Amino acid sequence: MKRKTAIVLIFCVMLFITACSDNSSEPKKSSADFFAMDTYMNITAYGENAKQAISQAKKQIKHLDSLWSVTDENSEIYAVNHSNGKPTEVSKETAELLTFSLKMSKRTKGAIDPTIYPILNAWGFTTEKYRIPSQNEIKSLLKRVGYDKVRLIDNSIQLASGIMLDFGAVGKGYASEISAEILRNNGVSSALLDLGGNIKTIGSKPDGSEWRLGVRNPKGKGNIGVLSVSDLAVVTSGNYERYFTGKDGKTYGHIIDPATGQPVENGLLSVTIIAKDGKLCDALSTSLFVMGLDKAIEHWRKYKDFDMILITDDEKIYLTNGVRDKFSVNKDNNVKVNVINFK
């Protein structure tokens, strides 16, 4: 009897040890860091096929970068921008991105406009040779801006004379959606894609808890708060991300108001958009930053297909109903939080 108990005990101990050392219930983690689309990217994914899925996604992002780079002479956008009004055949991905981009230009009444390139170029944001263009120069370049001057028939793009495209405001969001699809097709059900601050999450963390994302303090260092999400995209735009200080001592940011040709200066420091679709988040974060606080709130109340966190230069945070319980401000930040509700 005693021997039997001892055998059962040994068996139980062995079972316990095997259970502890067996981490098959925890999916395998894979991660990759790389540079593409002018920014640092990281993809972390869990699951048996995660490693090969990440490598496929990375390859696809590099491919999209090679199609959409405005400075690479071999890119499709370079060919379109130097086509002198002739129709140019492009890939399905580029045609889709332009279709989406033009749709968002209409939706935001031109706050986001892919034809902003000549103005970006004049300020040096495409080459990092920064300068302050004169009012006259901007006035004449604004004649070359207007999304209504772009024709897309099937996969062929035709630009009116002097018009040039830039997908800087939507390309990363689009790439995040395409990459997430590659991961999902490989059986990945838990992943975090960080394409230069353009975040896309698949599912929740492997332990079932939500992803906790820091929202950057646009004025100081570190984060202003933490946002908990699962299966959502989170994209932030702000002029603090890329800017230069002019000879006049003023800082000029990389997001331009297409109505004036000037870097946006409207009291907003950052706009974070939260929604299912990463490309929608990317397009809206840029365009609502251009619109300013009041119009951004109006836009949310009209469409209601996203949530947002707006940070203003008078130390206030405005967030929509859907994220009020998902966002917590860090204790050491003395900011006032206002919740935006439906009317």
Which 8-state DSSP code applies to residue 112?
S
- Kindly indicate which of the ranges 16-24, 54-62, 213-221, 255-263 contains the residues binding ligand AMP, using the contact rule CB under 6 A: 255-263
Q: What is the Cα–Cα distance from 171 to 274, expressed in whole angstroms?
A: 17
Cβ proximity of 213 and 95 under 8 Å: no
Instruction: Tally Cβ neighbours within 10 Å of residue 342.
Output: 8
Q: What is the Cα–Cα distance from 21 to 296, expressed in whole angstroms?
A: 52
194 binds ligand AMP (CB under 6 A): no
- In the complex with ligand AMP, the residue whose CB is nearer, 112 or 163, is 112
Cβ proximity of 317 and 329 under 8 Å: yes
Q: What is the Cα–Cα distance from 31 to 192, expressed in whole angstroms?
A: 9
Lookup result for tokens 């130390």: 315
Interactions with ligand AMP, residue window 266-325 (CB under 6 A): 282, 285-286, 290
- Binder to Mg ion among 101, 286, 312, 320 (CB under 5 A)? 286
Binding residue count for Mg ion, defined by CB under 5 A: 4
- Kindly indicate which of the ranges 28-36, 44-52, 113-121, 210-218 contains the residues binding ligand AMP, using the contact rule CB under 6 A: 113-121
Dihedrals phi, psi of 196, to nearest 5 degrees: 65, 45
138 binds ligand AMP (CB under 6 A): no
- In the complex with Mg ion, the residue whose CB is nearer, 101 or 285, is 285
Q: Tokens at residue 9, please?
A: 């005990």
Cβ proximity of 234 and 273 under 8 Å: yes
CB of 255 to Mg ion, least distance (A): 8
CB of 46 to ligand AMP, least distance (A): 28
108 binds ligand AMP (CB under 6 A): no
186 binds Mg ion (CB under 5 A): no
Which 8-state DSSP code applies to residue 231?
S
Residue nearest to ligand AMP (CB): 168
- Kindly indicate which of the ranges 17-25, 72-80, 152-160, 254-262 contains the residues binding ligand AMP, using the contact rule CB under 6 A: 254-262
- Kindly indicate which of the ranges 54-62, 110-118, 144-152, 314-322 contains the residues binding ligand AMP, using the contact rule CB under 6 A: 110-118
Q: Tokens at residue 147, please?
A: 């999304």
CB of 284 to Mg ion, least distance (A): 8
When CB distances are held under 5 to 8 angstroms depending on the partner's kind, the choice from Mg ion, ligand AMP, none that residue 101 binds is none
- In the complex with ligand AMP, the residue whose CB is nearer, 112 or 138, is 112
Interactions with ligand AMP, residue window 153-172 (CB under 6 A): 166, 168-169
From residue 309, alpha-carbon distances to 8, 100, 245, 289, 318 in Å are: 58, 23, 27, 11, 6
Angle made by CA atoms 301, 280, 173, in degrees to the nearest 5: 150
Dihedrals phi, psi of 220, to nearest 5 degrees: -120, -160
CB of 252 to ligand AMP, least distance (A): 12
Instruction: Tally Cβ neighbours within 10 Å of residue 103.
Output: 12
Residues making contact with ligand AMP (CB under 6 A): 112-114, 116, 120, 125, 166, 168-169, 237, 242, 254-256, 258, 282, 285-286, 290
Residues making contact with Mg ion (CB under 5 A): 169, 282, 285-286
